[in-house]
Structure 1
Amino acid sequence: MSAITCSHVEKSYGATSVIRDLNLSIEEHEFVVFLGPSGCGKSTLLRMLAGLEDISGGEVSIGGKVVNDLDPGDRGIAMVFQNYALYPHMTIFDNIAFGLRRQKVAKTEIQQRVMAVSSTLGLDPYLGRKPAELSGGQQQRVAIARAMIKTPKVFLFDEPLSNLDAKLRNHMRIEIARLHQSLKTTTVYVTHDQLEAMTLADRIVLLRDGLIEQIGSPAEIYERPANVFVAGFIGTPNMNFIDVTVSHGRGGWTLTGAGADFTLDGGRFNLEGVERAVLGIRPADLKAVGDGHAGNLLQGTADLIEFHGNDALVTFGAGGKEISALVSSRACPVLRGNVRYTFDEESLHLFDAKSGKSLLRR
């Protein structure tokens, strides 16, 4: 069994609280990503699971066994670090075999297991080399192989790709995804890169200031963000936010902001008693319209156009608010030209102005 349970877990450094009353269950064979901005506590939480940080309060269980007081080597975990942590004077073979030799595993078994794991990760040609002779991506694969060879119950990854260039990150991300599919080991992965989180995770745990803001699949967090923070953190380009006042009439609900009125049916949202809200709309959900369109309109002058290849990001001012629209490069407006965009109500997000919580009906 390799399920992980955190019950009322806390971590403090003196008077500074880093993790506060955290409760989390990770299922066996699940791939969970801890995501959040720098300083949110995600790496500290991972190190607490690994036994590299003491737990100030609460319990951590792995496979149904409380591990608070167990040494890292007794927890059945293997950890891959950001900086590879390879021994520079050893060959790649010896780096991978190091943990088994410490456990006094027989030489013939070590040989078999090293060859098996190196074949899985494409490291066979490099076993006689030293780490300095390998690229960053190859060194990270060695670090993963050294973790794999222990056949752990749980894999822990602490921002393993952050030192690689964009092309290598993409390649290694695919390799890690394939590795998880083949091994089916419970995996906890820390990153601040939402692309890694969205493409790798079965579930994302989004953290801020030591607290969980939302837990869900990548689709759930993207399509149904729990609050303004989650909506603003997930998604590239960032979601547009407009402060609006809310009023109700015969024709439905009217939201007023950014120099315009937006009329909604409002059935998707809990708007009763709400006077002020934050309207959220993703740049990709804005649609260009001609001069004849009048309803739910955001318009202004294109101040900035960023070419992304197939797409272009158009930034314009509307009622004193900076708005971005993601459009096809072939339909890109000219710089300083007038732009007009609308949206479907189904693509909108609304949040309470005071609490920041989503007003979407659950």
Structure 2
Amino acid sequence: MSNIVCANIDKSYGAINVINNFNLDVSDREFIVFLGPSGCGKSTLLRMIAGLEEISGGTVSIGGKEVNDLEPRDRGVAMVFQNYALYPHMTIYDNIAFGLKRMKVPKDQIDERIKAVSATLGLEPYLARKPAELSGGQQQRVAIARAMIKTPKVFLFDEPLSNLDAKLRHHMRVEIARLHQKLQTTTVYVTHDQLEAMTLADRIVLMRAGAIEQVGTPAEIYEKPRTLFVAGFIGTPNMNFLNVVIHQVEDGWLLVGDGINFRIEGHGFRLQHGQKATLGIRPADLLVSNGADVNVLSGTANLIEFHGNDALITFTHGDIEIGALVKASSRAKPGDQVSFSLLESRLHLFDAQSGVSLREDDAGGATQ
């Protein structure tokens, strides 16, 4: 078993507390992604799991064994960093073999293990080359091979694709996903890129200011954000937010705001008369209106962003700019009048003061 348990983890630098009472259970063979903005503490947490940062409070356990006082080499983990950290004067073979040679593993075993890991990552043609002769993606594969060859209990990735261009990032993202499917090693992966998180993770741990904002599968995080922060951080293009006041009427509820007068039944929400809220609408959930729809947003298109199959229309509704994602073939032109409707089942409501979702099944707010 290679599960990871973080219990009541704290991290302080002098009087500054950067991680506060962090609790998380990572299951054996699970792929967990720490996601969040810069400075939220995700890399610090990873380094504490690895043993590269001292833990100020709480415990980290790997495979049922507390590792707080163990050296990194004794924790059964292997880490891949943003910078490849390859030895430029060594061949790729020697870079991969370096750790095993220090452990005095017999040469025939080193050869056998390098052959296996090179085949897995497609590095056989490059073993005699130096790092400078490889592309960025190939160098990152060497760094992964160097971690793999130790047969660790846990893989730790700290923003490993940040230095690659968009095409290489996509390629390496696919390779890492396939590698996890093949090896089934418990993996913790740090990134600020939501696309990496959404495509790689079994579960996402979305962090903010040293604490967990929400934990869930990519679908749960996207479809049922538990706070306004989560809703704004996840999703491209960004969710639209509109300030409204909630009014109870005979047959349901009204959401009243600047040029907004939406009528909803309110099933599945915890609503109060007179409550101030933030209405969230994903651009992809706005539907071109047929003229007979209720809950319509209309305005003048002022910006059209062509995305290939889709187009993002930015239009002005009153004093508010709203984005709607449509099929490129049905996109408007700047200056056109556009109208979009919204289904109640696709809207999001958040308390204006706390930022917590008003969905009944999200009553617990952020979860750990």
Please report the TM-score for the alignment, with normalisation by the length of structure 2: 0.97
2:258 is aligned to 258
1:70 is aligned to 70
1:274-313 Cα offsets, whole Å, 9 max, x none, are 61111101000001114x3352011111111111011110
2:240 is aligned to 240
1:314 is aligned to 313
3-state SS in 1 of match to 2:10: strand
1:223-268 Cα offsets, whole Å, 9 max, x none, are 1101000000000000001110000111210001131200001002
Q: Tell me the distance in 2 between the aligned counterparts of 1:254 and 1:349.
A: 14
* 1:198-213 matched pairs, under 5 angstroms: 198-213=198-213
Q: Tell me the distance in 1 between the aligned counterparts of 2:111 and 2:202.
A: 34
| Cα drift, residue 273 of structure 1 | 5.0
The answer on whether the counterparts of 1:287 and 1:342 sit within 8 Å (CA) in structure 2 is yes
Q: Tell me the distance in 2 between the aligned counterparts of 1:80 and 1:274.
A: 52
Please report the TM-score for the alignment, with normalisation by the length of structure 1: 0.99
Residue type at the aligned position of 1:304: L
Q: Tell me the distance in 1 between the aligned counterparts of 2:275 and 2:208.
A: 27
| Cα drift, residue 17 of structure 1 | 1.0
* 1:275-354 matched pairs, under 5 angstroms: 275-290=275-290, 292-293=291-292, 295-354=294-353
1:95 is aligned to 95
* 1:12-31 matched pairs, under 5 angstroms: 12-31=12-31
How many equivalent pairs are there?
Answer: 361
3-state SS in 2 of match to 1:140: helix
| Cα drift, residue 319 of structure 1 | 2.2
* 1:3-18 matched pairs, under 5 angstroms: 3-18=3-18
The answer on whether the counterparts of 2:247 and 2:272 sit within 8 Å (CA) in structure 1 is no
3-state SS in 2 of match to 1:207: strand
Q: Tell me the distance in 2 between the aligned counterparts of 1:194 and 1:181.
A: 20
Residue type at the aligned position of 1:243: N
Flag the 1:274–1:43 CA change in 2: closer, same or farther, 3 A.
farther
**2:103 pairs with 1:111:** no
* 1:60-209 matched pairs, under 5 angstroms: 60-209=60-209
Aligned-pair Cα RMSD in Å: 0.8
In the TM superposition, structure 1's runs of 4+ consecutive aligned residues that sit over 4 Å from their partners are: none
| Cα drift, residue 86 of structure 1 | 0.5
Q: Tell me the distance in 2 between the aligned counterparts of 1:188 and 1:274.
A: 44
Residue type at the aligned position of 1:86: L
| Cα drift, residue 10 of structure 1 | 0.6
- Of the structure 1 ranges 269-278 and 56-65, higher mean CA displacement relative to structure 2 is found in 269-278
Q: Tell me the distance in 2 between the aligned counterparts of 1:216 and 1:77.
A: 24
3-state SS in 1 of match to 2:360: coil
Identity percentage of aligned residues: 68
The answer on whether the counterparts of 2:226 and 2:357 sit within 8 Å (CA) in structure 1 is yes
